Amino acid sequence: MEFEKGMKMLIVSSYPPRECGIATFSNDIVNAVENVFGNTLPIEVCALQNNAQQVDYNDEVTYVLTTTSLDDYRLVAEKINDRNDIGLVCVQHEFGLFGGEFGDYILSFILALNKPVITVFHSVLPEPEEKRKKVVHAIADLSNQIVVLTKISREILVDHYNCPISKITVIPHGTHTILWEQKENLKTKYNLSDKIVLSTFGLINENKNIETVLYALPEIVAKYPQTQYLVIGKTHPEVIKREGENYRDQLIKIVQELQLENNVVFINEYLELWQLLEYLTLSEIYLFSSKDPNQAVSGTFAYAMSCGCAVISTPIPHAVESLTDGNGILLDNFDKPKEFEKAILKLIKNKEARITMGKNAFSLAHATSWENIAIQYRLLFDQLTNREGDLRFNSPPIKLDHIEKLTTDFGILQFSKLSEPDPESGYTLDDNARALIDMVIYHTHYHDSKSLKLADTYMEYIEGIQKDDGWFYNYKSFDHQLTKQNLEVNLEDANGRALWSLGTVIANKETLPMWLVLRAEKCWNKAIERIHDITSPRAIAYALKGLFHYYSKYPNEEIKNHIEKLANELLRHYHINSEENWCWYEDYMTYANNVLPEAMLYSYMVTRKPKYKKIALITFDFLLSQYFMKGQLKVISNRGWFKKQNERVFYGEQPIEVSTTIIALDLFYEVTGNSKYKDQLKLAFNWFLGNNHLKQIMYNPENGASYDGLEDKHVNINQGAESTLCFFKAQLIMEKYAEKQKFKKTYAHS
């Protein structure tokens, strides 16, 4: 069958407003794919219902399948077959969702489809009955690909159902991103600041085994009366139909018998997502007490880890696989109150261990954020529809949130622990210069008063750290004192960045208030006297960028001479170090390499001397040849610089290198008009969005920050100033191209 270019994925699943874990799961996938890929992968939903009653669904639901009607499976499949724009059908499988014995009605649906099919198995039971085994094997055989949520489920499918391992992909349950520092604020919001909060959530049923936790509480409450246990969630709708609130009534009776009325709170609601995440975020300890040894996966368990809870769990497969390396406590047995009691007491007594455990779980959960899970499903979709290499991302909105949070009245702090600013890291000229540049460019685009206030703070830091002789220190502590680092570290790069930032302010004088421009000019006039004290190549490059921007408003021979003299010094470095297969200014590549050819091109733009442009192009193209490989950007590692004669080290990639690549590509495209630079620019930005070797996002969707590093097997999710400011600058550049594209489309239709 020929598919249309804008192919869609159709998800077959229970779906909100139905209250069901699978429904929530599918809704989260739909939202995540839209957030990450925009309209480049539209999704529709075929909602599963137990009966034919009318339900008020969202617009993405285009089909409804009544699961008790065998004929309906075939009829809906035929309607889907008639659509050329549906490229793949993704079936969310749980035995109780489908009619027939062991849900075998779904086979009629898959048999009737002539589209590629992915089946996601949410439950995979070991040692199955013969009929269950045949149904599962048939589903797997008819599906183009099987997805499971844990490695253990994959092993069971292979060992107990004879499914070929080559057909099985593990994509974990997705999780939502929260900000670590919200934990204490939320305890205050819910009047729980003086409590040690334990929680359990989900659709309540006997399998939750909550009574096991209740029987563990009396000894805990006797020692720690401030303990508060939140049991969050309504009773499961199917349980209500069968037996009403019998189980909840039993739990309430146990609470009364144990005299725990002041320590146990039942929140009998199907909460909106934001409120559920708030309750989990404020919880110190999450208790997972399921008594089903075959429960393959739990969304509630995954959410608790991603909210930074220290998790105590019975040994379901999901917990066995996840609770390793100090990120939770895995109990040995089911239905043992004493085990819960011992584990809870251990964590209440040791606050430091509790927090460390929560942070470990929180950090590991980044890999399973819904944005990253959306990327995994998209890759599978592209593979099965022969669209590999057509991965197009949706740019996240530009946010000032984390930059504001990092900024005090004195300047922008250097580092964060996770998303929480670290005052002990102090301040640097490097970061305040970067921040000033970002705010000037942001204000030029959006005329935002908030950015001016921030720019004022960064300008004040730069003024305060400039010496009488015009030169700058770099480092100050949180209490505003110069640190020893200023005597131990070469400050040339920081001084070059200062000139770049001051030149940027001056170049944008028409759109900025005069009070800011005059302050920048005052600092500039003092610093320019020391311009030729700068000798290292990278510092020269930063200074040249500043000189270019200054010259754009004050074109005079003195500045032009400074530019020519510094450009010649860069040329000298190039001629000394370059060889036939090494077209570079140094005998190694370190960080922010792109500023060197960029500075050469700026020098050409002022002097119009062809030699500068020639070397700029040669060196930039050489650098790009080292960076772009197999449809991805792979920048120089911070684990080891790339030396002329040495084998290159990979992994340990940082946002500064990606951002400076984007900045330079933008300039080279503007000057040369060569479309290859624009194409590489977009590819480079996709590194932040998930087109990297881990296929994970490198930004925090909640606060607009960038994560600090892409390692070989994980993302460093600390969110320091350098990383965040670099991502912010890259976003501003990409916004410019998005606006141009938007204008072209508008013009074409006018």
Domains and CATH numbers, the chain: 8-170 (3.40.50.2000), 182-368 (3.40.50.2000)
Q: What angle do CA 314, 316, 321 make, to 5 degrees?
A: 110
Enter the tokens of residue 77: 């499949």
Q: What is the DSSP code (8-state) at residue 127?
A: S
187 Cβ neighbours under 8 A, 6+ residues apart: 193, 195, 197, 282
Residue 570 burial (10 A CB sphere; 0-12, 13-18, 19+): buried
Decide if pLDDT at 295 tops 90.
no
| Most distant CA pair in the chain, distance | 90
Q: How many CA atoms lie within 13 A of 278 on its CB side?
A: 13
Beta strands in 516-636 (DSSP E): 588-589, 628-629, 632-633
Distance from C-alpha of 16 to C-alpha of 35, rounded to nearest angstrom: 19
**In the prediction, which pLDDT does 237 show?**
84
Distance from C-alpha of 704 to C-alpha of 348, rounded to nearest angstrom: 34
How far CA 117 is from CA of 14, 21, 120, 589, 649, in Å, comes to: 17, 22, 10, 47, 40
Lowest mean pLDDT among 270-279, 601-610, 613-622, 636-645: 636-645
Pairing mode, if any, of strands 632-633 and 475-476?
Answer: unpaired
Q: Average pLDDT, stretch 327-343?
A: 93
pLDDT digits 0-9 by tens, 125-174: 999 999 999 999 999 999 999 999 999 999 999 999 999 999 999 999 99
**In the prediction, which pLDDT does 749 show?**
35
**In the prediction, which pLDDT does 6 show?**
63
Under 8 Å between Cβ of 654 and 692: no
**In the prediction, which pLDDT does 390 show?**
64
3-state secondary structure 131-195: HHHHHHHHHHHHCCEEEECCHHHHHHHHHHHCCCHHHEEECCCCECCCCCCHHHHHHHHCCCCCC
pLDDT digits 0-9 by tens, 668-721: 999 999 999 999 999 999 999 999 999 999 999 999 999 999 999 999 999 999
Q: What is the pTM of this model?
A: 0.92
**In the prediction, which pLDDT does 743 show?**
42
Distance from C-alpha of 421 to C-alpha of 407, rounded to nearest angstrom: 9
Radius of gyration (C-alpha) of the chain in whole angstroms: 29
Pairing mode, if any, of strands 420-428 and 475-476?
Answer: antiparallel
Q: Which residue has the higher pLDDT, 652 or 228?
A: 228
